[in-house]
A and B are shown apart, each in its own frame.
Chain A
Amino acid sequence: MTIDKVPVKGLSSQEYEKALKVTWQPDLQYAWDNGIAIGKYLEALKDGKILGARCEECGRIMLPARSFCELCWRPTDEYLPVKDTGVVNTFSICNVNWDASRLKPEEPRHLPAVIEIDGASAGMGILHILGNVDPKDIKIGMKVKAKWKPEKEREGCITDILYFEPV
């Protein structure tokens, strides 16, 4: 049997405006327990440091800090700060917000990147954003350094690093 006639009708945006709808805005709030490893990771951020964890068996220094090595299946041996410099593994120049709305022309572009952090194992990257750089100049392999919020403004959050900027 061939499928040549299929049901379901889609509405145009005008039809959608006129259609009967119910709307609901759920109030969904969570307060996630950070636990041991992420708790330490966030504390370290407040302290102006990026914290990794080391597994003796595979030798990896992992980011973010973890209380167990998921590959060797054993607790990690040590939490240790890594550097706050790194190398751009990949990046983008983004013109849309998280809700798909467009950035206004005068707003600076968002510059997400995966940054391989020095001192961690090769390829150990974190997601963050780039700043203080002309988008045209960004290249894979570019050396960058974290720009931290002033100490008293830090909260123990990934945004305690404002962005990574070229060295």
Chain B
Amino acid sequence: MNERVAIIGIGTTGFSPVSPDLSFKELTYSAAVKAYDEAGLHPKEIDSFITGSEDFMEGYSIFDEYIPDQMGAVMRPAHTVCADFIQAMGMGCMMINTGQFRTIAVEAHSKASNIKTLDEVKAFALDPVYIRTLKENAEFVAGLEMRRFLGDTGNTEEQCAAVVVKNRRNALMNPDAGHGAVLTINDVLSSHPVSTPLKHLDAAAPSDGAIMIVLAAEEVAKKLCSNPIWVKGFSWFSAEGNLWNRDMSEAKYARLAAKKAYAMAGIFQPSKDIDFAEVCDEYSYKELQHLEALGFARKGESGFLTETGATSLGGEMPVNTSGGSIGVGHTFEASGGMKVNEAVLQLRGLAGKRQIKGARTGLVQSWRGVPTATGSVAILSNEL
């Protein structure tokens, strides 16, 4: 793949626990208007459109029926992937690299607040014969994985709590975040157990929001955009599909995806070549697990890096300056979009109080949630 691709427009409605004034179509339209306006394009001028979504998160079967109008994609080539935003963004980059498309719009959104029985939806993703029949709340998978990960790596529950404290504090500086708070380690540790060792405050709360980007091939990007953000590398992987033959101590999908994305982006020393990272922290321990899989920390070291401030805003490798899913709210298929939004803000110098000085290259990473071992990685930069 040798066509260079940049983000030339981005729009988001922000992320909040509820969004009662707007329907999902209106929410997405709001994000799309901003993205297209920034890109300087009417949707008629955009070559193709991609949405990342899952039917049961929308409460519709065949959700792609309901995507074209609010993207301005009526009677255009538009499609849906049942995947997260970063995967959809990667597909857009692939499409541009076929040589047949020069601009692609990519969106994802969450209306999780509209799901009254979210636990049932999550449980509905479990293997119907072997796992769902145990009739457990699906969070048990995260509990199992957390125990295995901590046991195997030596990271501690306190260090997981430090992730929560950091991220919710970062969120206080993010006007788009819904869960900024000043917490202590003890607050997290004493929150009620969900599926031990996972506790209530270890888990991100669901949130609503929409995010849209416009991708463009290099010559279009250079013509239309004064500060394009280049997608230097991207990849996604699924490790073992079945829970029962999966090694839960490592986020293998993140390791494999990072390896490929780094190769594409010409990154040989992640800790040096990357200035910041937005990684999935749907559960606190996931941030630690992902840091180790991405090569930012050796095995067992991620907790130590967190509690000593290395991943805090002023540290050597700021992680989740947005606040992560824990601080912003988890938006499922759109959570990767939240991270891309933060990365773009950082790379354009627009992150306000959260700004990392001289940010040039950032990493965004997503996980598809319980019970999957699927995730994606992308490297974004303000330099070619």
Contacts and interface: CB of A to CB of B under 8 A. Distances in A.
B82 interface: no
Given A31-B116, A68-B29, A70-B70, A24 B23 contact: no
Interface string B113-137: 1111100110110001100110000
A167 interface: no
Interface stretch (A33-41, A43-51, A120-128): A33-41
B115 A33 contact: no
B5 to A, nearest CB: 24
Nearest to B72: A73
Nearest to B129: A22
A32 B24 CA distance: 9
Contacts of A34: 23
Interface stretch (B14-22, B86-94, B255-263, B338-346): B14-22
B383 to A, nearest CB: 33
Contacts of A2: none
B124 A33 contact: no
Given A30-B115, A70-B69, A73-B72, A35 B21 contact: yes
Contacts of A24: 128, 132-133
A19 to B, nearest CB: 13
A33 B19 contact: yes
A30 B116 CA distance: 5
A59 interface: no
Contact of A70 (B23, B72, B121): B72
A4 interface: no
B133 A35 contact: no
- Which 7 pairs from chain A and chain B are nearest by CB? A35-B23, A30-B59, A70-B69, A29-B116, A35-B26, A73-B72, A35-B22
A26 B23 contact: no
Given A22-B132, A28-B121, 17 more contacts: A22-B128, A24-B132, A24-B133, A26-B121, A28-B56, A29-B115, A29-B120, A30-B59, A30-B115, A33-B22, A37-B23, A66-B69, A67-B26, A67-B29, A73-B36, A73-B43, A73-B72
A32 B59 contact: yes
Contact of A33 (B20, B44, B117): B20
B169 interface: no
A33 B121 contact: no
Contacts of B56: 28
B223 interface: no
Given A33-B111, A38-B23, A73-B43, A22 B133 contact: yes
Interface string A40-79: 0000000000000000000000000011101101000000
B309 interface: no
B74 interface: yes
A27 interface: yes
B324 to A, nearest CB: 25
